[in-house]
Structure formats: C-alpha cells, structure tokens
Structure 1
Amino acid sequence: MFTGIVQGTAEVLAIEEKPNFRTHIVRLPGDMLPGLALGASVAHNGCCLTVTEINGDQVSFDLVKETLRITNLGDLKVGDKINVERAAKFSDEIGGHLMSGHIMTTAEISKILTSENNREIWFTLQDPRQMKYILHKGFIGIDGISLTVGEVTKTKFCVHLIPETLTRTTLGSKRLGQRVNIEIDPHTQAIVDTVERVLAQRDAASVATVAAGSE
C-alpha cells in the first residue's frame, strides 16, 4: 500500500526492451535507499513495481505487458523523471489517502489554467466509462499523487495544485496532451458499483412483478 504522498522524483537512466517486456533503471533519491531490498515495492507514477536489482542509487524494475498497456510507463524515455514512493509502513503518517498502486486507466491533460501560486489541470479519461467513479471533492491518484477532485463534467475533471505539489512532483512540468496514470479511490468504486447493482436488482424485480401481474 501507498499513501499518495510522493517522496521524490527519479530519473530514468536506462531502458532494456524485450518482446512485451521492459526493464528500466532509475536513480532513486538518497533518502529512499536505506533498507531498500530486492523484492521491495516502489510506486512509479503510482504504479507498484518490484525492485529486481540494486547498484548504489541505481535500481532496476521489470515491467510486464499488462503494465505497459494500462499505464504511462511504456511512454518513458531515458532522461524522463517519474514520481516515486516506497511502500507505506504501519507507523507511517497517511497524509494523502491509501492507494494500492494498481492503475486502472490513464488520462490525457486537456487544459491547464495557471494563475499566481495556483494551477488548475483538466483531464480526460482514456476510458470514459470510469467517469462515474470521479466525484466532486472525492479522492483520486494521479501519477501516484493523492489529490482531491475539483470540478467534474460528464467527460472531464480537474484538480487544483499548490506550489509544493508542483515543485515536489512531475505535475509541474506536464504539458497538454501528455498522459497520466489514474488510480480510482477503491471505496468510491465499491459504493458506486454496489448502488448500481442494487438499483439493477430492484428494476429487474419490478419488471418481473409487472410481468407476473399481466398474466
């Protein structure tokens, strides 16, 4: 599990491509290295990956076909930077919201509005069917950052970013058209799916009652 509080950014140093598979090496910030071991979990733009090799501050991770398909990690090039966070410990402060590191879809940056000390970014989901899970003032994970949803329309949503978020994460350098990873709050998803299921069952029962009464 992760908290959505990004610990730093890491530069992609090397990428090894194989059929439907990729290994990339990143330079982790020094304060993330103590206690790091093979098999540890580190979120890359919110996507949980496993440490496969450690050489000083250069750490390797493997990306399988499904990860490359669903996330924006397949878009990375050498020199790019990503948001990183190590897995949370039981004693850690949960400053954001609990996140699993399982990316559901990506979103494209469709609008950026900048004013003094503020930035508003609008996103369009790759899978519009998942807009039902994005609610005004709800939680969402964007490239591993725990954020509160601002305005929501039928097809888009926005978040409001403070200078600290822009400085600490990669969102400060994002441009129109770039993709970000999206993790939906699982509690919101569970509630929406449950309500839909209950309503569907109620509608089916009503249709059955009407049909029986007409016989």
Structure 2
Amino acid sequence: MFTGLIEEIGTLRRVHRRGQSLILTLEARKILEDVQLGDSIAVNGVCLTVIEFDRQQFSVDVMPETFRQTTLRELSPGSRVNLERAMTMGRRFGGHHVQGHVDTVGRILNRSREENAVVFRIEPEDRQVMKYVVPRGSITLDGISLTVVEAGTQHFTVSVIPHTLVETVLLQREAGDSVNIECDVLGKYVERLLAFGAGGPLVEHMEQEKGAGRPNGGLSAQFLADNGFM
C-alpha cells in the first residue's frame, strides 16, 4: 500500500529484457536508506519487488502482465521515474490509498497553465475506467496522488500545484506522453459487490427476506441499512 506522495525521482540505469519480462536497475538515494530484499517500491505508480540492491541502486522484476498494462515497457536507460516506498505504520498519511496496481495507460491530451497550477487533460486507453473517475475524487498518475477536477466520458483533468510538478516526473510530461492511471479502489469494490450480489448470496438472502413477507424491491438503501451495511 502506498500514499501517492512521491519520495524522490530515480534514474533508470539498465534494462534487461527477455520477451515481455524485464529486470530494471534504478539509481536512487532516499528510498535505499532502509531497503530490504522483498520490499515493495512503486515505480511510476507500479508496485514492484526489490530483488537486489546496494548503496546506490536497486533492481526489480517486471512480469509480462505488468509489461503489457503499464508504461514501464516504454522506459529506457536514462529515463526518470517517480519512486515511493510502501507506507509504514505510524507514518502521516497525506495522500490516498494507492495499491500500485495500474488500471490502464493514459495519454496526455494537453497541458495548460491556470495561474499557479498546471492542468493536465488525460484520455485513458481503456475508457471503461472512466466510471471510477469522479470530480473531486482521488486518482493516481504515475504514482502521484491527485484530485480530479473534471470527469467526462472519455477524458478527465487534474490540476497540479508547483511543488508536485517540480518534485515529480510530471514536470517533463507533455501532450502525447503516456502515464500510468490507477483509479481509487473504493469504486471498484462497490461495483464488484453489487455485481456479485446480482447472482450470489446477497440475492439469496434477499429472496429469503421476500419469502418472510418482505417486498422484493431489489437492492436498495433501505435494504443495506436494515442489514448493517449503512
């Protein structure tokens, strides 16, 4: 689990590729202060596992599924990347719950300035994720916790303050560039629970309630409240 608050920008030093699997070796400093084998580190928002490290760099495996679903396949030696260690107990939580599980890749349609902020308009490759994108809701771009400004059916916008811009790789991103998108997990769980209930134990329970004399009104706010979900 991560917060979406980038700790430092690292530099990719080596890429060992075999088919659609990769081993990436990245130069870093801050995140290596307490690193251990098996630790999780988010690289441009992708949760990866440390398989080797020394005082100046660390290496991670990238499996084919991650290669296909993220922008890691586009990296080359010299690429700059956002880095964040997994959160620890007792640490101040300033972003939002980020899993490091990328939903889709997005393309920057345009970048514009609005007084002290920079507004990015993003179009996801998989338009289905737009159902999880909510105005004033949380979203992650390349591992950065951001707030959605506008959300349509095909694209959305985020507004980035100067500090976030200069402390992350967004400073270098322009129209046409790709970013990793992770939507807030809450909407995904709600969707899954409702879909599961459409043909699973929840419906069976509702049918039992109907048989006990309760009206069959489907899944409603009253039903959720009556059964301790609200």
What's the TM-score once normalised by structure 1's chain length?
Answer: 0.88
1:114-125 maps to which residues of 2 (within 5 A)? 114-125=113-124
Q: Which runs of 5+ in 2 are unaligned?
A: 204-215, 218-230
Q: Which amino acid aligns with 1:91?
A: G
1:5 aligned onto 2:15 = no
Report if the CA contact (8 A) 1:51-1:60 is conserved: yes
Separation of aligned partners in 2, 1:193 and 1:138: 19
Give the deviation of 1:124 after TM superposition.
0.4
> What is the match of residue 22 of structure 1?
22
Where does residue 178 of structure 1 map in the other structure? 177
Q: Residue 193 of structure 1: CA displacement? A: 4.6
Q: How far apart are the structure 1 equivalents of 2:126 and 2:66?
A: 16
Is 186-195 or 76-85 further displaced after alignment? Answer: 186-195
Q: Deviations over 1:62-93 (max 9, x none)?
A: 11101100010110011110100001001111
Hey, what's the Cα distance between the residues in 2 that align with 1:116 and 1:136? 20
Deviating runs (4+, > 6 A) in structure 1?
196-201
> Deviations 1:30-81 (Å, cap 9, x if unpaired)?
2221221111110001110011111221111111101100010110011110
| Structure 1 unaligned residues grouped into runs of 5+ | 207-215
Q: Deviations over 1:165-192 (max 9, x none)?
A: 1011001110111111111111122234
What secondary structure does 1:147 align onto? Answer: strand
- Relative contact order, higher structure (CA 8 A, sep 6+): 1
- Separation of aligned partners in 2, 1:173 and 1:192: 35
TM-score for the superposition, normalised by structure 2: 0.83
- In the alignment, what sits opposite 2:32? 33
Q: Which amino acid aligns with 1:27?
A: E
Say whether residues 1:70 and 2:75 are aligned partners. Answer: no
* Cα contact 2:32–2:57 (8 A) shared by 1: no
Between the aligned residues of both structures, percent identity stands at: 33
User: Retained in 1: the 8 A contact 2:8–2:30?
Assistant: no
Of residues 93-102 and 191-200 in structure 1, the stretch that sits farther from structure 2 once superposed is: 191-200
1:167 alignment partner in structure 2: 166
Going from structure 1 to structure 2, the CA distance change for 1:113 and 1:199 (only over 3 Å counts) comes to farther
SS at match of 2:34: coil
Matches within 5 A, 1:39-50: 39-50=38-49
1: CA distance between counterparts of 2:197 and 2:51?
44
The amino acid across from 1:87 in the alignment is A
Q: Give runs of aligned pairs for residues 101-180 of structure 1, distance below 5 A.
A: 101-180=100-179
Distance 1:87 1:160 in 2: 25
Between the aligned partners of 2:106 and 2:151, the Cα distance in structure 1 is: 14
Asked if the contact 1:121/1:160 (under 8 Å) is kept, the reply is yes
Q: Tell me, yes or no, if the aligned pair for 1:70 and 1:103 is still in contact at 8 Å.
A: yes
SS at match of 2:91: coil
SS in 1 for 2:66: helix
| Matched length | 203
Q: 2 CA distance for matches of 1:101 and 1:79? A: 22
Shift of 1:104: 1.1
What is the RMSD computed on CA atoms of the aligned residues? 2.0
The amino acid across from 1:69 in the alignment is: R
